[in-house]
Amino acid sequence: MSFRNTAKTFVLLAGIGGLFILLGSLFGGAGGALIGLTIALAITGASYWFSDRIAIRAAQAVEVDAKTAPELHQMVHSLATAAELPMPRVYVSPSPQPNAFATGRNPAHSAVAVTEGLLTNCPPNEVRAVLAHELAHIRNRDILIGSIAAAIATAISLLANMAMIAGVFGGGDDDDGPSAGSMLLMALLAPIAAGLLQMAISRSREFDADRYGAELSGDPMALASALRRLEALAQRSPMEITPAQASAWIVNPLTGTRKDFSRLFMTHPPVDERVRRLEEMAPMIHSIA
């Protein structure tokens, strides 16, 4: 699992790095390409060291401990012990939408965050199943992938907006630079390319975390039930975060999973497919138990 996720990280970084170099070259030739590569490396380094702080701050989450949230803390502790993981830091976000995410550069520097909505709307067995899913992300060492992808997607969105403004106001009409039309086209295509790369990494991560999380909790149907509940409530009350941060959460916090063509471009796999796989696992796990 760790080797496969390392390969995914390499593919993501190579693809995103190439995109930054392309954007830089369109803006400023060889010098711009070098600047693009420098930006990509800087963002990757920053996301490696500060990804947990960025995600936690975006969620407005507050750290809790065994005194302030004893039941939640005990759930995380028991699951981490079963998974042979260091105890992650535990946070609670004030969002009323039920959701959760894991963050951090490695298991020794990891954190799990849940929303007030999760604790309020879900029974304990579903909360435990969601926490097991998040600890699976930590165990599989794939939380860094999503953090880097989110940070770079944010940067690409900013660059695309700059290109859009430059194209609209004719900033690229000199002979040595790109035309206004090419800059507008780049502004449209760059976020799509970044999203497709992020999607290719993120969707399989969720299936893997569902599978191991179900094994860890011993209750696939609790996770299936939680996913259905979280999807329905996420659609009713989208969370106020940037789209680049959405892939970190267990379900899409912005719109939930829509059942149309747009699902092809979402970082999360369809919840109905995730539930189907969990339901297929249930008889095997129960027979072992």
For 229-249, the pLDDT digits (tens) are 999 998 888 888 877 677 789
Helices assigned H by DSSP within 59-112: 70-82
In this predicted structure, the answer to whether residue 258 has a pLDDT above a threshold of 50 is: no
pLDDT tens, 22-67? 666 766 667 767 776 777 677 666 666 777 888 899 899 999 999 9
Q: Give the amino acid at 42.
A: A
| CA distances, 174 to each of 27, 170, 177, 180 (Å) | 11, 9, 6, 9
Which of the four pLDDT bands, split at 50, 70 and 90, describes residue 254? confident
Amino acid 169: pLDDT: 52
- Report the number of distinct structural domains present in the chain: 1
**pLDDT, averaged across the chain:** 79
Residue keyed to tokens 């435990």: 128
Q: What is the mean pLDDT of residues 251-266?
A: 57
Q: Report the distance separating Cα 256 and Cα 25, nearest Å.
A: 37
122 in Cβ contact with 102 (< 8 Å): no
Confidence of residue 94 (pLDDT cuts 50, 70, 90): very high
Q: Which residues have a catalytic role annotated?
A: 134
Nearest Cα residue to 72 out of 108, 26, 25, 115? 115
Distance of alpha carbon 216 from alpha carbon 190, whole angstroms: 39
What's the confidence (pLDDT) of residue 2?
A: 53
Other beta carbons within 10 angstroms of residue 244's beta carbon come to: 22
| pLDDT tier, 263 (very low <50, low <70, confident <90, very high otherwise) | very low
pTM: 0.76
Q: Which residues form the domain of 223?
A: 2-288
Q: What distance in Å separates the CA atoms of residue 239 and residue 131, rounded to the nearest whole number?
A: 19
Task: Give strand pairing partners of 110.
Answer: 104
| pLDDT tens, residue by residue, 169-179 | 554 445 555 55
Q: Chain centroid to CA 202: how far?
A: 7
